[in-house]
Amino acid sequence: MSFRGLDTEVRKLRKETFKEIANLAYNSTDIINDLEALPYKMTDAENPRFWESIYRERAVVRERLRLAMGLSLRPEDKPVHATEGVDESNIAEKYYEPPLMQVIPSACNACAENMFIVTNQCKSCTAQPCAKVCPRGAISLVDGKSYIDQEKCVKCGKCKEVCPYDAISKQVRPCAAACGVNAIVSDEYGRACIDSEKCVSCGMCMVNCPFGAIADKSQIFQLIRAIQSGREVIAEIAPAFVGQFGENVTPAQVKEGLKQLGFSRVYEVAIGADAGAMAEAKHYVKEVVNGELPFLLTSCCPSWSMMARKFFPETIGNISNELTPMVATARKIKEEHPDASIVFIGPCASKKLEASRRKVRSDVDFVITFEELAGMFSAKKIVLSELETDESDEINDATSAGRGYAVAGGVAEAIRQCIEEYYPGTEVMIEHAEGLSECKKMLTLAKAGRKNGCLIEGMGCPGGCVGGAGTNIPIVKANKEVKKFMESAERILPLPEEE
C-alpha cells in the first residue's frame, strides 16, 4: 500500500530542504559558510528527530543539501568536504552531475529485499499448515512458534497463503517494489543502490522510500541565479499544476506568483500537447492505419520512451518522433523570445534528463518540479491564495484535449478525438499503460505482435503526470483538478495547422 499523497515527515523534509536552498540563493552573501551552517540550523542537537544520533542526522541533511544544489553525494571511502563543488554549482546556468537519482547511504535502512517472516500473530496451531506446504522444509517450531530458515526458504509464498491467521508477512524493499525496471540492487552492506544502466529516472523509488533515503538533483539554485542575472526567464508550466499549491489557489494566482518570483511570462505546456496531438493523429493515420508501422508508441513521457529504448530496442522505430509537449512549447517560445531562458515547471523528475539530452535539442534551460517551486514560493514568503489577480493573469492558452495530457489515458484520448474529428471514418485502436511494470507488460505484448494496429500510450508514473515524483497532492485530488481545468478551456480540440 503506497503512502503517496500523505504529508509525511519525508515530504516535509524535502520541502524544508528546497526552501533552505532557495533561501541560500536569495539571501546569502557567503555561500560556503552559510551552506556549512544549514545542517545545524535544520537539526536539534538535543533531540535528533529521526536517527539515533545528531551526527548521523546532520550527515543525512548534508547529503540532501548537496543533491538539492545539483551536486553528487560524497564518496564514503575518501575525505571530501561537504561543500566540495559548490563554487562550480554557483552559476546562472543549468548544472547537472549525473546520475539524477541517488541513494543516500547514511539514510538507507537496508530493508529486506524479499523475505517471508513469521510475525507475533502466530498462534502455534496444531495443524501447522505452513510447515506442511513448504517445499524445502524451511519451517520449524522454535520456542513454540513457527520459524522460517531464510537459508532454505525459496520465497514461494505458499506458507503465507495457507496461514489461517495471516501471521506470515512478506517483506519487500519499498523502493524496489516501486521500481518497474528492477533497477534497485544492494551494495555490500545490504543498502539499496541504483543500477544506472537500468534506471529510467521516473522517481517512484524516491517517493516510496519511507526513510527519504533517495533523492533527485535540483536546479532551483541555478534557476534563481539566472533570474537574478537580469536576463529574461520564461516559465512553461505543465497542466498538472492545478491544485498543486493549495485548494483555493487559482491558476491566475499561480501565474501571478511566478511573476513575483521574476518570470517575465508564463505559458501552458499544453499548447505543445495540442500540437503533438494533431501531429500524432496524422502519424497514426498515415503510418499505422496504412500499414507502414504495426503500432505507434507515444513519446511524451521520457521514462516510458527511455524504457522502450533500453529494454525493447526493436520498438524504437515505433516511438513517435514528434516533439514532446515540453520541447514543442519551448520551441514556440524561442521563436518569439530567442534570447530568453526557458524553464519547464512540472510534476516529472525525468524531464530533467530530457532537457539535458543532446540528440534532440530541447531549448529548455532549466527543469523544476512543483515540489521545488513550492520551496521557492516559501523562501520568498509568497502566499498564493492571498495574491490579487486581473484578466492578464488568466491562463487560457490551450485546449481541453491538450490539458488532458496530465492524466493517464489523456494523451491517447486527445489523439483519438483529433482522429475522429479530422479523419472521420478512421477506426482507432487505443491502448494505454501506467506505471513502469504495466508499461513493460504492454511493450512485451506489442513486441509479440499482439497490439498491432494500436496507438499505445505509456506513462511511467501510476496515474500519469498527476502522479509524478515532483507533485504535492494525492493523485485522486489532482485528477479532479485537471478535469475542472479541462472544462474551463475555451476550445475542446486544437485546430489543424492549415487553419
The Cα–Cα gap between 299 and 309 comes to: 11
Within this chain, do residues 390 and 296 fall inside the same structural domain, yes or no?
Answer: yes
DSSP line for 236-284 = EE-GGGTTTT-TT--HHHHHHHHHHHT-SEEEETHHHHHHHHHHHHHHI
- Provide the angle, in degrees to the nearest 10, between the axes of the packed helices 325-336 and 270-283: 120
330/272 Cα distance (integer angstroms) = 8
Return all residues near 370 (Cβ < 8 A) that are at least 6 apart.
Answer: 240, 241, 244, 245, 345, 346, 347, 470, 471, 472
* 495 in a structural domain: no
Give the total number of structural domains in the chain.
Answer: 3
Q: Is-contact 74 84, C-beta < 8 A?
A: yes
242 CB contacts (<8 Å, ≥6 apart)? 251, 478, 481, 482, 484, 485
Residues 307 and 242 in one domain: yes
Q: Does one domain contain both 376 and 459?
A: yes
* Helix, strand, coil % in the chain, rounded to nearest 5: 40, 15, 45
- Tell me what pLDDT residue 2 has: 64
Co-location of 181 and 235 in the same domain? no
Q: What is the mean pLDDT of the chain?
A: 95
Report which residue type is found at 364: V
The pLDDT of residue 461: 97
Same domain, residue pair 361 and 411: yes
pLDDT at res. 392: 81
419, part of any domain: yes
- Let me know if residue 332 belongs to a domain: yes
Band of pLDDT at residue 77, cut at 50, 70 and 90: confident
246-294, pLDDT tens digit by residue?
999 999 999 999 999 999 999 999 999 999 999 999 999 999 999 999 9
Rounded distance between C-alpha atoms, residue 463 and residue 465, angstroms:
7
Residue 498: is its pLDDT beyond 60? Answer: no
Q: Are strands 454-459 and 429-434 parallel, antiparallel or unpaired?
A: parallel
Structural domain boundaries enclosing 35: 9-110+176-222
- Strands 214-216 and 429-434, by their bridges, are unpaired
pLDDT band at 343 (very low <50, low <70, confident <90, very high): very high
Q: Per-residue pLDDT for 90 more than 90?
A: yes
- The pLDDT of residue 357 is 84
pLDDT tens digit sequence for 211-248: 999 999 999 999 999 999 999 999 999 999 999 999 99
In this predicted structure, what is the pLDDT of residue 272? 96
Judge if 387 and 469 occupy the same domain: yes
pTM: 0.94
CATH number assigned to the domain comprising residue 153? 3.30.70.20
Query: Residue length, the chain?
Result: 499
Mean pLDDT score, 142-151? 95
Residue with cell 540492487: 185
Dist CA 95 CA 219 (whole Å)? 7
369-382 per-position pLDDT tens digit: 999 999 999 999 99
Q: Is the Cβ–Cβ distance between 456 and 295 less than 8 Å? A: yes
pLDDT, mean of residues 433-444: 97
The stretch 480-484 carries a mean pLDDT of 97
